[in-house]
Chain A
Amino acid sequence: MVSGLAHPDVVVVGAGIVGAACAEALTAAGLRVLVLDRGPLAAGTTAAGEGNVLVSDKEPGPELALARASRERWPRLLAELDADVEWEEKGGLVVATTPEAVEPLHRFAQAQREVGVDACTLTPAEARALEPHLTPEVTTAVHYVEDAQLNPVLAATTLLAAVRRRGGETRPFVEVSDVDGERKVTGVRTPQGTIPCHAVVNACGPWSGSLTAKAPLPIMPRRGIVLVTAPLPTVVRHKVYDADYVGAVASGDAALQTSGVVESTRAGTVLIGSSRQRVGFTERFEVPVLKALARKAITLFPALAGVPVMRAYGGFRPYAPDHLPVIGEDPRLPGLWHATGHEGAGIGLAAATGLLVADLLTGRTPHVDPEPFRVDRPEVMVA
């Protein structure tokens, strides 16, 4: 092991998008940061993320506030770093395909507009003008111009490159087995020895619940599977999803839920989600899930029926019982900070999360209200 940073101010555990964003913001604040990951950089849940930076799927509340702050920060951060991470302000289109779905969708959009979200209700003809291949069955749609997309792995590795440029260090293939300290953090334990430090950021994604037995968290994995088509000419222009998606995101049900979520990547492939299943960390792929995803995508875009599917991949969204991120210092072990539980929105929420962690850790005025995400809320302290 190369020597590197002997006395970091902060050790960030986990080099996913959340850990990367925390490390970026902490080094920008002048701290010496060491990032550790037991695997390669940005190869966990972040490598499974589709890279949407969304406001459309969130109802008014703390998560929407964090999402809006993050949506604002991402392009500025990327500009500061002069980075091309395939950032695209493509916009989102939420589509209803039944008469019954019209009214709830309009109500949802109205509530979002009241807190400042740009949500524009469209007629079926207007929706099809935006998305020419959209099903003629569309009954209404809402256009969210703020929805954007980036390549999550490029984004995470770019943030980590900035960390290194500022004198920080990123060390892949180092597993943290525990956090040392009784009344406060004194270091992290690794197979290569203990690394002394006074602050640790737990950004272990779906594995963050068990980083240390001194401060367990009820963070669980929620499996998601994505289908990938062969590269295509442009068929899908926005992020397009079925209005029933919002219900599935918010649901706590363990059973399989799927809803149609369709979008293109810059490479020409179309990504098809989304499934949500609480099945632990299983790597198995079940044909019924793949089939359900295919059906829903064709419902939205009948033209996709003849297109080859070349891949399916999965990941584990880290979720907390109340479906809110956990961001802040752990009162059980001062010096231990958590940045986790972002579930299906960690890519989008990372930019604001990193800044919030840096705000709190350096004692600055937080840029968003941290209260709803605090670690000692009852839903999180059940563990």
Chain B
Amino acid sequence: MRVVVVGAGPAGLAAARAAARQGASTVLVDAEPSAGGQYHRGENVVVPQGVEHLANTTVWAVEGTRLHLRTGPADAPDRVARVLDCDALVLATGAHDRALPFPGWDLPGVVTAGAAQAMAKAHGVAVGRRVVVAGTGPFLLPVADALRKLGVDVVEVLEAGSPLAWAREPAGVFAGRGKLAEIARYRAVLPRYHTRSTVVAAHGENRVTAVTVAKLDRDWRVRPGTERRIEVDAVCTGFGFTPRLELAVAAGCLVDKGFVRVDDRQTTSVPNVYAAGEITGIGGADLARVEGEIAGTCAAGGTPSASLLKTAHRGRVFAAALDRVSSVRPGWRTWPDERTLVCRCEEVDLAALRTAVEEHAALGLRSLKLTCRVGLGLCQGRVCLRNAAELAGIPHDADRVSRRPIAAPLRLGELADTPLTPALEE
């Protein structure tokens, strides 16, 4: 039996290890040059015994349990094609940072918190010398700390929400006591940590040179009169994470409240397709690992242990509490001004979005996209569509936002030459 795991982050690695241990012929596919995903980036991750690791390999389409792959340097026109069939598929494609628009967020030097982290971890490169980190959630602290270790002056770390909200989550606190204790690790940056605050504008001509920060009320509206200007050469921003759902959606998996729906065995709504890690809910690397182990075990026909299932359950209690505590509040919609780009790729500003809604009554995602071009650029709405729908007041299902049958771009010539079935030796 063959199990294919897509994504070599904590979830995918654990899934591949478990599947191989069950005796399944296991293939681990990831677009990155080395295994590890976002969490283990830059570490020397050893691929589990008996697992065939296809690095530099992008899954650009999925048809049932058939995967279409390209291996080679990113975006090169001459990558090697391969078609892979499997008996069971584990999707562990992770998440990316959610960025919210504010005036100047498209200036060079404004990056996501994850981008700063990835540059620091994989390459030891700092995104700036004097930096503000702003957003929401516990991820801001390790990012600030990683920058500090590179000698960056982390001027402030701004949390838009209030961690006091944990007071209403006793069960979550208990389930995540280990995780929460980790915060002590970041004591070096804690003195710079401010809550109910964020960056509301970035200034500069060809790159960011300063930001305006402000205090926020409970709903994240700016409290007038609290604005301050800070000179910086970079801003790191992250408002939680958005799961990378395109492969799951293309495989036909049901998506519920923004994430792939799974049962306690990580089974999706599609037979023989499993999902694990951040695409099933944002719970951090530890939970991703546990879910991966369950998914890999089940995909290969095994039975996960009761203690493993219990650990996963505890992780989910914490994840659910984390989601409530660090949820994005609607007041962010007052941050962008008329000229602020909502869609960076197609350079659609808020005024254009408003015109589409008010004059053209574009009340659905598809009509909104086609009237003002929001979300139609190269990123295919990964960065903006969720924000655009919220700004337009359009109800949006994650599966609609994530419908991308071509999960990663490929060159037209590659598509024209693509093999349709696995090579004979497969």
Binding site for B on A (CB under 8 A): 39-43, 47, 151-154, 157-158, 160-161, 170, 172-173, 227, 229-231, 267, 269, 272, 284-288, 290-291, 294-295, 297-298, 304-313
Select which of B250, B364, B378, B416 is within 8 A of A295 by beta carbon. B416
Instruction: Mark B352-373 against chain A: 1 for CB-CB distance below 8 A, else 0.
Output: 0000000111111011001101
Query: Which stretch of B10-18, B261-269, B319-327, B404-412 is in the interface?
Result: B404-412
Select which of A41, A267, A297, A308 is within 8 A of B411 by beta carbon. A308
Say yes or no: A41 contacts B77, CB within 8 Å: no
Say yes or no: B420 contacts A43, CB within 8 Å: no
Please judge, given known A-B contacts A43-B367, A311-B406, whether A306 and B68 are in contact too, CB under 8 Å: no
**Does B418 make an interface contact (CB < 8 A)?**
yes
Residues of chain A lying within 8 A (CB to CB) of residue B63: 284-287
Closest beta carbon of chain B to A49's beta carbon, Å: 10
A311, B378: Cα distance in complex, Å:
9
Closest chain B residue to A292 by CB distance? B416
Residues of chain B lying within 8 A (CB to CB) of residue A160: 361
Closest beta carbon of chain B to A48's beta carbon, Å: 9
A308, B380: Cα distance in complex, Å:
13
Residues of chain B lying within 8 A (CB to CB) of residue A157: 360-362, 367, 371
Closest beta carbon of chain B to A4's beta carbon, Å: 14
Closest beta carbon of chain B to A372's beta carbon, Å: 32
Closest chain B residue to A302 by CB distance? B413
Say yes or no: B359 contacts A153, CB within 8 Å: no
Select which of B75, B359, B367, B404 is within 8 A of A308 by beta carbon. B75
Select which of A39, A285, A308 is within 8 A of B410 by beta carbon. A308
Please judge, given known A-B contacts A40-B364, A43-B364, whether A290 and B415 are in contact too, CB under 8 Å: yes
Say yes or no: B410 contacts A161, CB within 8 Å: no
A288, B421: Cα distance in complex, Å:
10
Say yes or no: A291 contacts B412, CB within 8 Å: no
Select which of B360, B380, B404, B420 is within 8 A of A287 by beta carbon. B420
Closest chain B residue to A301 by CB distance? B412
Interface size on B, residues (CB 8 A): 35
Select which of B361, B371, B406 is within 8 A of A309 by beta carbon. B406
Say yes or no: A47 contacts B366, CB within 8 Å: yes
A43, B68: Cα distance in complex, Å:
30
Residues of chain B lying within 8 A (CB to CB) of residue A290: 61, 406, 415
Say yes or no: B363 contacts A41, CB within 8 Å: yes
Closest beta carbon of chain B to A211's beta carbon, Å: 21
Closest beta carbon of chain A to B371's beta carbon, Å: 6
Say yes or no: B77 contacts A170, CB within 8 Å: no
Please judge, given known A-B contacts A230-B378, A267-B376, A287-B420, whether A305 and B412 are in contact too, CB under 8 Å: yes
Closest chain A residue to B75 by CB distance? A308
Residues of chain B lying within 8 A (CB to CB) of residue A313: 405
Q: Identify whether the interface residues of A are mostly helix, strand, loop, or mixed.
A: mixed
Closest chain B residue to A170 by CB distance? B361
Say yes or no: B359 contacts A161, CB within 8 Å: yes
A286, B64: Cα distance in complex, Å:
10
Residues of chain A lying within 8 A (CB to CB) of residue B75: 308
A306, B77: Cα distance in complex, Å:
6
**Residue with the highest number of chain A CB atoms closer than 10 Å, among B75, B346, B380, B418:** B418
Closest 5 CB pairs of A and B: A40-B364, A305-B413, A153-B370, A157-B360, A285-B405
Residues of chain A lying within 8 A (CB to CB) of residue B170: none
Closest beta carbon of chain B to A262's beta carbon, Å: 11
**Does B377 make an interface contact (CB < 8 A)?**
yes
A305, B377: Cα distance in complex, Å:
19
Residues of chain A lying within 8 A (CB to CB) of residue B346: 267
A173, B346: Cα distance in complex, Å:
28
Closest beta carbon of chain B to A315's beta carbon, Å: 10
Say yes or no: A229 contacts B412, CB within 8 Å: yes
Please judge, given known A-B contacts A172-B361, A172-B363, A229-B412, whether A154 and B370 are in contact too, CB under 8 Å: yes
Q: List 20 A-B contacts (CB under 8 A).
A: A43-B367, A152-B370, A154-B371, A157-B361, A161-B361, A172-B363, A231-B377, A285-B405, A286-B63, A287-B61, A290-B61, A290-B406, A291-B416, A291-B418, A291-B420, A298-B413, A306-B413, A309-B410, A309-B411, A311-B380
Residues of chain B lying within 8 A (CB to CB) of residue A269: 376
Apart from the given pairs A291-B420, A294-B418, 15 other A-B contacts in the complex at a CB distance below 8 Å? A40-B394, A41-B363, A153-B366, A160-B361, A161-B359, A170-B361, A267-B373, A285-B250, A294-B413, A297-B412, A298-B416, A308-B409, A310-B406, A311-B380, A311-B404
Closest beta carbon of chain A to B123's beta carbon, Å: 25
Please judge, given known A-B contacts A41-B361, A287-B68, whether A309 and B366 are in contact too, CB under 8 Å: no
Residues of chain B lying within 8 A (CB to CB) of residue A153: 360, 362, 366-367, 370-371
